[in-house]
Amino acid sequence: MALRNEPTAPYRSAQDALRVLEAVARHTTGVTESEVARHTGLGQERVVGLVRMLRREGYVEQVAGGAYVTGAAFGGLGAARGGGEAVREDLQRTLDRLRDSVGAAVYLSRYVDGEARITQYADGPTTPAVNEWVDFRFCAHATAVGKSLLGQLGPEARRDHLARHRPARLTSRTITSDALLLSRLADRPPTVPHLDLQEYAVGTVCAAVPITAGSSVGSLGLSLPVEEVHRLREAAQALNRGAAGLLLSLAIRPY
């Protein structure tokens, strides 16, 4: 099955959402969507969508008269209580919502100390996670999240990774040629989703988009059974839309 890759844009949404949040925070007695649009220079329709996302994440809430003020999640940003665990819990709630909206298991990954790692995921009875039959750390060449992470590295870092983790054949579709894999990574724009069409495991297809925040290289992925491959493109687009909320959380509360 051929899928046409399309650019993703979670970064612009997260940046615009921060502008909206800043505008709301400056008006402690409340501000309307029309006023936010005027203060930020963003269109009314754009602001409505961003406010909806911020409400969903708990950063703003509506008060009498239809105005908006900062919400409980924003008020807790400066609190030290809970530390990293509080951030993990916030991210998990966001991942759970993404799982339900996309209708697939979702995965948050990071490239840390030269290794590709799945740091958190959300699955469920109807959205089972991939069976990790081979450690994900050694299979970046064969997974959508792994290729998304490698795609954000420089050429030397990519070659170094493949030198340390030789691309092994996991299925008949797995790319094992360094030259071919590096060529495909170099040719693919960083904002285009990466796909895994049964390269890691027979019976599973995946997609992933980058969610780099600051100097941290990260990726957000999903998996579906191959019987639902017809949903992959639509699910990847939904994942991309949801990535903005996760990226916003990471920008506000680095993990």
> According to the model, what pLDDT value does residue 105 have?
97
**Mean pLDDT lowest among 17-26, 59-68, 143-152, 242-251:** 242-251
Phi/psi at 5 (5° precision)? -75, 140
What is the residue whose two structure tokens read 């991939």? 130
- The CB density around residue 165, as the number of other CB atoms within 10 Å, is 18
**Mean pLDDT, range 136-158, rounded to an integer:** 94
Length of the chain: 255
Residues 6+ apart with CB under 8 A from 143: 116, 136, 196, 199, 200, 206, 208, 221
Q: Would you say 31 and 42 are in contact if contact means Cβ atoms under 8 Å apart?
A: no
Q: Is the pLDDT of residue 109 over 70?
A: yes
- For the chain, give every residue range classified as CATH 3.30.450.40: 83-252
What residue has token string 């054949």? Answer: 169
Q: pLDDT at position 116, please?
A: 95
Average pLDDT over residues 20-26: 87
What's the rounded Cα separation, in Å, for the pair 101 and 146?
23
Q: How far is CA 113 from the centre of its chain?
A: 20
Average confidence score pLDDT of the chain: 86
Q: Which residues belong to CATH 1.10.10.10 in the chain?
A: 10-75
pLDDT of residue 3: 41
Model pTM score: 0.75
| Structure confidence at residue 80 (pLDDT) | 42
Secondary structure element (H or E) that encloses residue 38, with its range = helix 33-40
Q: What is the pLDDT of residues 152-167, one digit of tens each?
A: 899 999 999 999 999 9
Mean pLDDT of 164-193: 92
Q: pLDDT band at residue 8, thresholds of 50, 70 and 90? A: very low
How many whole angstroms separate alpha carbon 180 and alpha carbon 21? 44
Report which of 235, 230, 237 is spatially closest to residue 192, judged by C-alpha positions. 237
pLDDT at residue 225, rounded to an integer: 96
Mean pLDDT of 51-66: 85
Burial class (CB in 10 A: 0-12, 13-18, 19+), 147: buried
Per-residue model confidence (pLDDT) at position 195: 92
Residue 252 pLDDT level (bands cut at 50, 70, 90)? low
Matching CATH number, 10-75, of 1.10.10.10, 1.20.120.80, 3.40.50.11720, 3.20.20.80:
1.10.10.10
CATH number of 83-252: 3.30.450.40
Is 116:108 a contact under the CB 8 Å cutoff? no
